[in-house]
Amino acid sequence: MKFTLSWLKDHLDTEASATDVVAAMTMAGLEVEHVTDPASKLAAFTVAKIVEAVQHPNADRLRVCQVDTVDGRKEIVCGAPNARPGLTTIYAPIGAYVPGLGVTLVEKPVRGVVSNGMLCSGSELEADDGSEGILELPDDLAVGTPAAVALGLEAVIDFEVTPNRPDWLGVAGIARDLAAAGVGTLKDLSIAPVPGTFPCPIAVKVDGDACPVFSGRLIKGVKNGPSPKWLQDRLKAIGINPKSALVDITNFISYDRARPLHVYDAALLVGTTIQARLGHHGVHGDEHLIALDGKTYELTPEMCVIADADGERPVGIGGVMGGESTGCSEATVDVFVESAWFDPIRTAQTGRTTGINSDAQYRFARTVDTGSVVPGLELATKLILELCGGEASEIVVAGQAPAAPGPILFDPAYVQGLSGLAIAPERTLKILTDLGFAIEPPKDVPASAFVTDEAALVCVTPPTFRRDVEGKADLVEEVARIAGYGALPSTPLPEVPRAVGGVLTARQARARTARRALAAAGYAEAITWSFTNQKTAALFGGGAPELVLANPIASELDCMRPSILPNLIEAAGRNARQGFPDVALFEVGPVFHGDRPQDQKTTIAAILAPHAPRSWDKAPAENVFTVKADLVALLEEIGAPVASLQTAQGSASSWWHPGRSARLQLGPKAVLAEFGEIHPAVLKALDVAGPVYGFEITLEAVPEPKKKAVKTKPAFTPSPLMPLTRDFAFLADKAKAAGDLVKAAAGADKALIAAARVFDVYEGPGVPDGQKSIALEVVVQPREKTLTDAEIEALSAKIVAAVEKAGGKLRG
Amino acid sequence: MTDLTTLEADVLAQVAAAGDLTALDAVRVAALGKTGSISGLLKTLGAMSPDERKERGAAINLLRDRVQTALNEKKAALESAALDARLASETLDLTLPAPYRRKGSVHPTMQVMDEMIAIFAEMGFAVAEGPDIEDDFHNFTALNFPPKHPAREMHDTFFFNQKEDGGRMLLRTHTSPVQVRTMVSQKPPIRIIAPGRTYRCDSDATHTPMFHQVEGLVIDKGIHMGHLKWTLETFIARFFETDAVTTQFRPHHFPFTEPSAEMDVQCDRSGGEIKIGQGTSWLEILGCGMVHPNVLRACGIDPDEYQGFAFGMGVDRLGMLKYGMPDLRDMFASDGRWLSHYGFSAFAAPNPASGLS
């Protein structure tokens, strides 16, 4: 929404500058986006008069002018054909920056004659009047008058209107708020009715809920032509092209009073009834309308259609745009003026369906003042009679405007109760009155209301243009914003007892620990989109229809991700394509298995695409065991029961290398994590070079540790006896999982065996084909006494027996 | 006695001449071994008269001691030389690089989230969470967005496809649904923040389809806008870690708060970058207000008994302001160089003792 200071002053008696107005608007809740002030741009330019203009001695098309300027008489060379003695125009001194040319004037001879400045055209001042040559201004302008004043250019204030304040879409509404805020005095906004001299020959009819109220009148014998300069200037200043007096008047009232109107050329209407109804599917298909913008629109049963010919012929889309066939032109003699109230939701929907965002549509969609239907028509009548002449009929009205807002029972002390602002009740009531609210004594008092003093209670009735005000909290906002938020006190929150043990849930705390632990382990945290594309989602077990977006920002991001891994893998690919293939990334975030809240899980995913710098000491390459080590360390860090976890190889999901991936689980239904090498086919589909290793932990699957009443740890009871180690080598089938043998060995005597570890795996000469040798180191921790040789022998035998049962044969 | 003198000179010369420990040991055995020359002399003592033995014995023992000392000294010298030689042979070029170790980092948005949680935890706020996929009730209706109201359109909502029952799910456009879920499930007093991912169907230099918010909610008896102002002023000063920060409240409109406000922070925009705590410009940083009575009612709270405030801020954006990241889109690009440049150490967890970062 744009307006100028002089327009504002039509309604507001004030000495305030544009800067003051902008500051007051901002603090009253009108967010100013920018102010374009031609005066600052044209500060160097002033009015001048050409005294003499003679032919340039060396150039046919140039004249040498003697010019009376603010700097005295100057000799200026000018190429404009209209440079003639007596002409009042605009002068730019040497050193001035000419915005339309983008140059700064320097003193230099033009074909041998020095030009001491420049005479300007409209386009050079970026105030294009469409004419050739230098500006021709009225002779009564004094030499030295600033160009902005001479050209009637003034600051344009552009601001954002929040959807709750449709009344701000009219300059009068802004004036009202600024007056309440103390910027000036509101002038009389009342509109005197213009009596009709004859019955309106055109009847109006509304049907159903298409349009609650529709009014109009005929004005006959008008002369439509260009509107007067003041009206054209008003519209041009805010970027609206003047068309004809009748159209300009409707545009003016739309911006002045936030009251859209429409004018029909009565001679082009068919029949004597105008009807507002819903669009209908006719026998010949949907109705159509060629609107004023020349485009054809399909009219649906959800739209309000204005129709003549007894409701048969569409002549407009109600509240959105009129039809081309009945539009006013210079030839219009009898005009039918429409002032109606169209439903905001229907108008908003029609705007979306048609793609039309007209000034009328914008205002009706945001709720036009329900009390302005007839007054708006009266104002239009007054202006039409003034500017175009003619004779007005009586007004016809069909339907009824929505009921005015009801009264709100209000205790002025609630202002302080809700805002903290200490404001005297009289001030509160004065602000509300200034804003157009009616204050009356209370009628009856409901018990539950906020009441500190029954005697102070009042009934506050919002004006019809403030349908956003529904309750007493809204009234507090009105008072607080006009009084100024700057006066709000700064009141410390009451102290509350702190939650014992911090504010994070166990899951939140674990996510935070995981983040820090992985960063410490060398992984960089990334945040990737919660979406991926459906195809990729399908590769990772997702892509269900209920997780596909109806309106994605791009087809690449059309589906909620079932796993973080694809996003990280793609990120690795992007980094590699930029020449940085060594990638270790992680993310802690949501994944989606369905659209219910419980289908969303938090996972911790990490990937490693190892391209470490080549090493001079031939260190072994990183591999799937690197991520296994990081995974297990991380699980330990977040308090997962690592010792109880099974490594279930061959059961991990399809996006992993089938032979190089596993689940870490407490049981088949309690899978905490999967890890491994990403399946080469998946990498190929994502266009990423492998190998890529990774893991993904489902945080919700990690059991929470039992809550304990006290923080004490179990007592430290180290054994005083030295541990001893015994080594064994077993032969097993090549496919045998070493983990099974380790588990068997460790379980042979849980009291004495502290650990069992693989220290060698060998295949080759000395080991039968299809078998491998697994060497185990078993750590024995005597508990009560040193073991005798015989006891150690017995234990060894137990170990061998247990491992043999698990499929390992002691190597001879 | 000359035989002893000669012998001593002879043995000591051999000790001195021994080039390594093996040669030295041979000298030791030849002199002091069972059949060594000095041992042999000691054996002759038994056949001597007591007087002769006394005199001769003392001389031989002294000789033996001197030879032993010489052997020990020579041995130590040889060992030291051998160690020196070994160490010299073991020299490593320590200018060679140590094994490669990647440097990890914490994403700045998450660092900032942790900072915010730390500040609000100090003020007694708990952390609440909710789903990213929401329904219309929690994201809009309960928050006083009338059906089909233009304010809904301003949210650029991502929708899922319509279901058979006519409903359709959406991606939350703010974390306010978490406030709704909290109010529905928990009796006042309430003091929570709701951090999380939010989504808007919008993408340009300053908008990404996904971003992060932290919202706050306080519901109790007698909570007013002054409490809101103090809470946010205190937060902003602590967050930017400066007392010099100046803020202002401006009226604004949100469907879910009444009265509503936006908070601006004073800044300097002159040098092409934004500096908080100086200058004369204002920058909008968050929206807030008193929870709308309709919202309280929708969540089963009596607005005549309880009232409170809510606020919401963009985590990524505040992070950009504090730490100088120029482009929102980079936050989600996962460029390793960017992550390493703007990321934080694993050990920079915000805490009240050492500060935020």
* From B169, B227, B294, residue closest to A493, measured CB to CB: B227
Residues 69-88 of B with CB under 8 A from A: none
Report the residue of A595, A630, A692 to disrupt the B interface, i.e. the one with the largest count of B CBs within 10 Å: A595
A717 and chain B: CB distance < 8 Å anywhere? Answer: no
Of the candidates A169, A251, A262, the residue with the CA atom closest to the CA atom of residue A214: A262
Instruction: Say which residue, B262 or A207, is predicted with more confidence.
Output: B262
What pTM was computed for the model?
A: 0.86
Query: What is the ipTM for the molecules in this complex?
Result: 0.89
Of the candidates A480, A437, A471, A176, the residue with the CA atom closest to the CA atom of residue B252: A480
**pLDDT score for A109:** 83
Contacts of A619 (CB under 8 A, 6+ apart): B99, B100
Reduced to 3 states (helix: H, G, I; strand: E, B; else coil), residue A410 is strand
Residue B123: count of CB within 10 angstroms of its CB: 20
Residues 411-470 of A with CB under 8 A from B: 416-421, 448-450, 470
User: Is B132's CB within 8 Å of A600's CB?
Assistant: yes
Of the candidates A664, A666, A665, A668, the residue with the CA atom closest to the CA atom of residue A629: A664
Same domain, B292 and B157: yes
Note the pLDDT tens digit of each residue in B34-74: 888 888 888 888 888 888 888 888 888 888 898 899 999 99
Reduced to 3 states (helix: H, G, I; strand: E, B; else coil), residue A614 is coil
Within a domain: B349: no
Q: Count up the domains in chain B and report the number.
A: 2
Range of the domain at B157: 108-341
Half-sphere exposure of A86 (CA within 13 A, CB side): 0
* From A26, A450, A592, residue closest to B250, measured CB to CB: A26
B204 and chain A: CB distance < 8 Å anywhere? Answer: no
**pLDDT score for A614:** 85
Half-sphere exposure of A237 (CA within 13 A, CB side): 28
Within a domain: B77: yes
Same domain, B158 and B50: no
Residues 214-243 of A with CB under 8 A from B: none
B160 and chain A: CB distance < 8 Å anywhere? Answer: yes
**pLDDT score for B151:** 67
- Could you tell me whether strands A203-206 and A281-282 are parallel, antiparallel, or unpaired per DSSP bridges? unpaired
User: Is A524's CB within 8 Å of B132's CB?
Assistant: no
Residues 16-75 of B with CB under 8 A from A: none
Instruction: Say which residue, B276 or A24, is predicted with more confidence.
Output: A24
Q: Are A37 and A155 in contact (CB under 8 A)?
A: yes
Residue A453: count of CB within 10 angstroms of its CB: 10
**Å between B185 CA and nearest CA of chain A:** 15
DSSP of A38-79? HHHHTTT-EEEEEEEEEE-TT-TT-EEEEEEETTEEEEEEE-
Same domain, B211 and B74: no
Report the residue of B156, B217, B224, B294 to disrupt the A interface, i.e. the one with the largest count of A CBs within 10 Å: B224
Residues 282-301 of B with CB under 8 A from A: 290, 292-294
Within a domain: B208: yes
Within a domain: B134: yes
Residues 60-89 of A with CB under 8 A from B: none
B232 and chain A: CB distance < 8 Å anywhere? Answer: no
Same domain, B146 and B216: yes
**pLDDT score for A446:** 58
What CATH number is attached to the domain comprising B198?
A: 3.30.930.10
Structure tokens at A423: 């404001």
| Count of A-B CB contacts under 8 Å | 274
* From B160, B227, B253, residue closest to A549, measured CB to CB: B160
**Å between A66 CA and nearest CA of chain B:** 44
In sequence order, the β-bridge partners of residue A591 are A601
Q: Are A683 and A692 in contact (CB under 8 A)?
A: yes
Same domain, B81 and B165: no
Of the candidates A435, A400, A499, the residue with the CA atom closest to the CA atom of residue A165: A435
Among residues B89, B118, B133, the one where a domain terminates is B89
User: Is A491's CB within 8 Å of B224's CB?
Assistant: yes
B164 and chain A: CB distance < 8 Å anywhere? Answer: no
| pLDDT surpasses 80 at B157 | yes
Contact list in A for residue B129 (CB cut-off 8 A) is 508
User: Is B227's CB within 8 Å of A349's CB?
Assistant: no
Contacts of A593 (CB under 8 A, 6+ apart): A542, A562, A599, A600, A601
How far is the C-alpha of B33 from the C-alpha of B41, rounded, in Å? 12
| Cis amide leading into A691 (omega within 30) | yes
**Å between A175 CA and nearest CA of chain B:** 17
Q: Where are the beta strands (DSSP E) in B182-291?
A: 190-199, 210-220, 247-254, 257-268, 275-276, 281-291
User: Is B124's CB within 8 Å of A498's CB?
Assistant: yes
Half-sphere exposure of A521 (CA within 13 A, CB side): 25
| Cis amide leading into B189 (omega within 30) | yes
A505 and chain B: CB distance < 8 Å anywhere? Answer: yes
Same domain, B80 and B156: no
Of the candidates A638, A632, A668, A637, the residue with the CA atom closest to the CA atom of residue A652: A668
Residues 594-613 of A with CB under 8 A from B: 595-597, 599-600, 612-613
Within a domain: B251: yes
User: Is A550's CB within 8 Å of B162's CB?
Assistant: yes
Same domain, B75 and B163: no
Same domain, B132 and B270: yes
User: Is B159's CB within 8 Å of A349's CB?
Assistant: no
Within a domain: B357: no
**pLDDT score for B150:** 65
How far is the C-alpha of A672 from the C-alpha of A648, rounded, in Å? 11
Contact list in B for residue A557 (CB cut-off 8 A) is 209
Note the pLDDT tens digit of each residue in B321-337: 999 898 899 999 999 99
Within a domain: B268: yes
A627 and chain B: CB distance < 8 Å anywhere? Answer: no
Same domain, B160 and B205: yes
B178 and chain A: CB distance < 8 Å anywhere? Answer: no
**pLDDT score for A282:** 65
Report the residue of B140, B158, B256, B306 to disrupt the A interface, i.e. the one with the largest count of A CBs within 10 Å: B158
Same domain, B48 and B144: no
**pLDDT score for A648:** 92
How buried is residue B205: exposed, middle or buried, by Cβ count under 10 Å (0-12/13-18/19+)? exposed
**Å between B73 CA and nearest CA of chain A:** 39
Same domain, B9 and B56: yes
Within a domain: B57: yes
List per-block mean pLDDT (blocks of 10 residues) for chain A, which spans 812 residues.
Answer: 92 91 91 84 89 87 90 89 89 89 85 87 76 84 87 85 91 96 94 94 88 95 93 90 94 96 95 91 76 91 91 92 92 95 92 92 94 96 96 95 92 95 95 96 63 80 94 95 94 84 87 96 97 96 94 92 97 96 97 95 97 85 94 96 91 93 94 96 94 97 85 88 94 93 93 93 92 95 91 94 93 80
How far is the C-alpha of A286 from the C-alpha of A353, rounded, in Å? 14
| Locus of tokens 């459906």 | A534
Same domain, B210 and B63: no
- Taking the mean position of all CA atoms in its chain, how far away is CA A283? 43
- Average pLDDT, stretch B223-250? 92
